[in-house]
Amino acid sequence: MVSRNETDLSSTASGATGPTLPTGVPPRASRRVVGQDLDEALTFFGDGYDLRAPRVRRVRPTTPWTFGGVGDGRLSLVSSRFGVDLRSESRVDDAFLVAWMSSGASTITYGGDEVELRAGVPVVLPFADVYQLHHHDIALNLVHLDRDHVRAVVGDDEFAFEALRRPTAEGLRTWQETVRLHSPRWLDVSNDLGPLEQRDIAEAFVRAAIAAFPERSRWRAVVTGTGPEHERLRKALEFVHDHAREPIGTPEIAATAGLSPRGLQQSLRRNLGQTPGDVLRAARLDGARTDLLRGAPDGTTVAQVARTWGFGHLGRFSASYRARFGELPSESLRTG
């Protein structure tokens, strides 16, 4: 990966069979490919990043392209350049890709949103779903984080990052410091890293990504499809998730999504088979369960948690809780 201080990649392999670095854990392996042939470049990048029906326009007489990377089965640091105007769909299922430009222009379209990448500002690309990209004479840095390794570090088999959300200022500093600290040693394959150091560097990148980028909301993930209705519904669910402790109801949820109350009801019924009340109740029950599992039995009461999440009748709260989670709130509190 060429970072902002232009770290060079080693060149130990060549040939255009796709930008896939070796799987399996140690040792690290490096690869660098340089070319001018447009068809060769499309085959190379298309295989590795599942480019679907790419449309390409030359921006200069020649078509310079490069790929360089060092990785193992958990972490790969990659840089590439493709001197064309490229429009395509793409999808990656086995890794979380953190991307930032060094030069050029790039727009990613996903879930009804269009996001322009900014030089030096990393984002996580969409995961396990199709998105549209438009690259123009781009030099791009990528960090590949193996999906299963990230989920093992997090301890959640369904963990995913929220796509295309820029990091906070503090998160960006954490990410850049990790890149600055660990990239030179990782990229220098003449350094024979021991298994423990290699693992520690991979985990450092995972933890930096967790600190920098938000987790994908499970509420957004339950809505399939990429049309305007689906994105409005995701906004409604995200609002519920973020404001479930507050005295909100159907009118507030609908307004956030740009829908009428009746339109929200119809959309929820059509896509999820639920009512706004069902969604809000589930969010509050989930929040209550989190508080109960984290609470100390000698300092937290079921009644306190129920009131916090808007449940005024303790008996009905306990019955709803048991129906959703298969145990009473008091049992969750004791085992938390």
Over residues 230-252, the mean pLDDT reads 90
Task: Report the distance separating Cα 41 and Cα 17, nearest Å.
Answer: 10
In the chain, residues under CATH classification 1.10.10.60 are: 218-335
The pLDDT value recorded for residue 169 is: 87
Q: At 251, is the pLDDT very low, low, confident or very high (cuts 50, 70, 90)? A: very high
Task: Calculate ∠ Cα 56-82-80, nearest 5°.
Answer: 145
Q: Are 86 and 117 in contact (CB under 8 A)?
A: no
pLDDT digits (tens, 9 = 90+) for 73-116: 899 999 999 999 999 999 999 999 999 999 999 999 987 778 99
Q: Are 189 and 28 in contact (CB under 8 A)?
A: yes
pTM comes to 0.67
Q: Is the pLDDT of residue 210 over 50?
A: yes
> Of all residues in the chain, what percent carry a pLDDT higher than 70?
90
The pLDDT value recorded for residue 229 is: 87
Diameter of the chain measured on Cα atoms: 75
Q: Are 33 and 5 in contact (CB under 8 A)?
A: no
Structure tokens at 173: 């500093």
Over residues 153-181, the mean pLDDT reads 89
Q: At 71, is the pLDDT very low, low, confident or very high (cuts 50, 70, 90)? A: very high
CATH of domain 29-212: 2.60.120.10
Q: Is the pLDDT of residue 67 over 90?
A: yes
Q: Are 155 and 77 in contact (CB under 8 A)?
A: no
Q: Are 100 and 141 in contact (CB under 8 A)?
A: yes
In the chain, residues under CATH classification 2.60.120.10 are: 29-212
The pLDDT value recorded for residue 18 is: 46
212 or 162: which leads in pLDDT: 212
pLDDT digits (tens, 9 = 90+) for 255-314: 999 999 999 999 999 999 999 999 999 999 988 988 888 777 777 899 999 999 999 999
The pLDDT value recorded for residue 12 is: 33
The pLDDT value recorded for residue 108 is: 96
The pLDDT value recorded for residue 106 is: 97
The pLDDT value recorded for residue 25 is: 59
The pLDDT value recorded for residue 177 is: 97
Lowest mean pLDDT among 11-15, 155-159, 196-200: 11-15
- What mean pLDDT value characterizes the chain? 87
Angstrom CA distances, 33 to 4, 18, 99, 142, 213, stand at: 20, 10, 19, 16, 31
The CA-based dihedral angle spanning residues 325, 244, 308, 299, taken in that order and rounded to the nearest 10 degrees: 60
Q: Is the pLDDT of residue 7 over 60?
A: no
Over residues 160-189, the mean pLDDT reads 92
Start-to-end Cα distance in the chain: 43
The pLDDT value recorded for residue 91 is: 93
Q: Is the pLDDT of residue 20 over 80?
A: no
CATH 1.20.1740.10 fits 218-335, yes or no: no
The pLDDT value recorded for residue 277 is: 94
39 or 297: which leads in pLDDT: 39
Angstrom CA distances, 7 to 4, 118, 124, 179, 220, stand at: 8, 20, 22, 11, 38
